[in-house]
Amino acid sequence: MTAMAPKRKPGQWSELVYLDFLAGPGRGIDRKTGSEFDGSPLRALRVTPAFDRLIFSDVQPKNVEALKQRIPPTDRSRVDVRLGDCHEVARDVVSRLSQRTLALAFVDPEGFEVKFRLFQTLATRRIDILYLFPGGIGIARNVGAFVKQAKAPLDDLIPGWRNLRRARMAAGQKLTAEEMASRDQPFVMEFMRRMGQLGFQYSGQGEPYFTNEKNVKMYHLLFFSKHPAGLALWRGVIRIEASGQRRLF
C-alpha cells in the first residue's frame, strides 16, 4: 500500500482492494498462552495507507457475525462482509471489480478447502495473491493416502499431481535419496507452474517454511502477480524481519 497508494493520484488505479474469502471470525487464540490475537481481517483494516475497500467472507455464519461485530464503526463504510463458500463469493465479487482496480487477495485455508478454480477466478482481474500453500500440513502428511483414493482433495487443487514422481514414490515406486529429501517441493513447483499458465508469471516463496510450535513444517507462503513490479515489492517485503530489521541479502 505504501508503494501503490500514490498511484491513485495520477489515475493509474481507480481503487485498491483487499480480498479475504476465508476470513474467519477476525480473532484467534494462541494455543500456548490462551490469549487472543487479531487475525488477518483486523490487521488489514489497520494498514496505512488504507485500502479503499476490504471484502471478507466465510462459510460459517458464526464467524461472519463475530467478524461484523469486531469491525470498528469508523471502518464499516469501506468493508463488505459476506456469508458463503469462498469460490462462489469470489466469483461474484471479482466479476464486479473494474479493470482499473488493483487488489491483493490473501488465501489462508486450514487444509484443502480451496480449489484451483478460485485462482482461475482471481486471474480474471488485476489481483496479486498471497497463498498459504498446505505443504507439510496437507500434502506431505496425506499424499500416501491420497494416491490410493480415486478422488482425493488434492485433485481439485493441483490437477495432474498424480503424475509427479513424488506422488509415485508415495504409491510405492523407489526414488533416490535426493528425490525423497525434496518432500513436498515438487507439488509447490507444479502449483506455481499452473499459476503461470493463468498469467501469474511473477511468483516467489517466502522464507522460512512456516512451522508449528513443535517445529513441524506446515505451510509455504507463496506470492503471485502478473506484473514484475508486484514481485519486486514482494522481494522487498520479505527482506524485512518481524522486528523491522532489514536482511543484508
What's the pLDDT at 220?
85
Grid cell for residue 111: 487444509
Q: pLDDT tens digits, residue range 70-112?
A: 999 999 999 999 999 999 999 999 999 999 999 999 999 988 9
Radius of gyration of the chain, Cα coordinates, nearest whole angstrom: 19
Question: Domain residues of the chain, as ranges?
Answer: 5-145+189-237
What's the pLDDT at 180?
44
Angle at 241 (CA atoms; ends 239, 243), nearest 5 degrees: 150
pLDDT in tens, the chain (249 residues): 999 999 888 888 999 999 999 999 999 988 888 899 999 999 999 999 999 999 999 999 999 999 999 999 999 999 999 999 999 999 999 999 999 999 999 999 988 999 999 999 999 999 999 999 988 778 877 888 888 899 999 999 999 898 887 787 777 766 554 454 456 778 889 999 999 999 999 999 876 566 666 666 678 889 999 999 999 999 988 887 666 666 655
Who's near 186: CB < 8 A, 6+ residues apart? 164, 165, 166
Grid cell for residue 134: 498446505
Reported in sequence order, the residue ranges of 69-135 that DSSP labels E, i.e. its strands, are: 79-83, 101-107, 127-133
What's the pLDDT at 93?
98
Q: Residue 71, by phi and psi: left (phi above 0), alpha (psi -120 to 50) or beta?
A: beta
What's the pLDDT at 237?
86
Q: How far apart are CA 242 and CA 212, in angstroms?
A: 17
The amino acid that residue 108 corresponds to is: D
Homologous superfamily of domain range 5-145+189-237: Vaccinia Virus protein VP39 (3.40.50.150)
* Secondary structure letter of residue 151 according to DSSP: S
Q: How far apart are CA 75 and CA 18, in angstroms?
A: 13
What's the pLDDT at 143?
83
Reported in sequence order, the residue ranges of the chain that DSSP labels E, i.e. its strands, are: 15-20, 27-29, 36-38, 53-58, 79-83, 101-107, 127-133, 202-205, 210-211, 217-225
Q: How far apart are CA 41 and CA 194, in angstroms?
A: 28
pTM here is 0.89
Q: Which residue has the cell 483414493?
A: 149
